[in-house]
Amino acid sequence: MKITHGMVVAMHYELTDENNDTLDATENGDLFTYLHGHGNIIPGLENGLDGLGVGDKAHIIVHPAQGYGAHDPQARIEMPRSQFPDDADLSPGDRVAIDGPEGEKIFTIIEMTDVNVTLDGNHPLAGMILHFDIEVAEIRPATEEELAHGHAHSGGDHHHH
């Protein structure tokens, strides 16, 4: 069985940057599972996995255009500290959700003063060339429910809240 549109794929992966520093990885035998062909993962990784089979290993390099996009210096905003709850335990590097005109968006806190909070709306991996070392562990056809929902379900009952 090969990875094609509508298949549920489970894999081990390690994500490293240009300096070979690990950014993310599956751990302790856990598998990352997704529904292929439904935009659940970045396009460059999905394209690189297309056609692989169980047991296949691959080194997939994803450039920003097929990953998290270019780093946009305009994506920085400043907000008054008063916009955040007084009791919020915030520090640089924290990620916060801000409601905006297009719905909720995740920002990373860059800098904080008593007056302002500087936020960056870029994805933390924007502008980076990503290196994925993957090993395909399982491939199965998606269920009708998974195809209808557009994502893989883990074992057992699945309910949207």
The yes-or-no verdict on residue 129 having pLDDT over 90 is: yes
The yes-or-no verdict on residue 38 having pLDDT over 60 is: yes
> What integer pLDDT is reported at residue 3 of this predicted model?
98
Distance in angstroms (rounded) separating the CA atoms of residues 84 and 9? 40
pLDDT band at 155 (very low <50, low <70, confident <90, very high): low
Say which DSSP state 14 is in: E
Render pLDDT for 47-81 as a digit per residue (tens, 0 to 9): 999 999 999 999 999 999 999 999 999 999 999 99
The yes-or-no verdict on residue 157 having pLDDT over 70 is: no
Provide the token pair at 57: 């290993």
How far, CA to CA in Å, does 39 sit from each of 5, 75, 128, 130, 157? 10, 23, 20, 18, 23
Domain boundaries, the chain: 7-68+127-149, 73-120
Distance in angstroms (rounded) separating the CA atoms of residues 105 and 99? 6
Position with higher pLDDT, 88 vs 158: 88
Residue 90 has φ and ψ, to the nearest 5°, of -110, 145
The yes-or-no verdict on residue 153 having pLDDT over 50 is: yes
In sequence order, which residues have a C-beta less than 8 Å from that of residue 149 and are 6 or more positions away? 158, 160
CB 131 within 8 A of CB 59: yes
The yes-or-no verdict on residue 108 having pLDDT over 50 is: yes
* Domain made up of 7-68+127-149: CATH architecture: Roll (3.10)
Residue type, 54: V
Distance in angstroms (rounded) separating the CA atoms of residues 42 and 61? 12
Provide the token pair at 76: 């920085």
Strand partners, 107: 96
Q: Which residue in 152, 125, 157, 133 sits closest to 52, CA to CA? A: 133
Q: 73-120: which CATH topology?
A: Thrombin, subunit H (2.40.10)
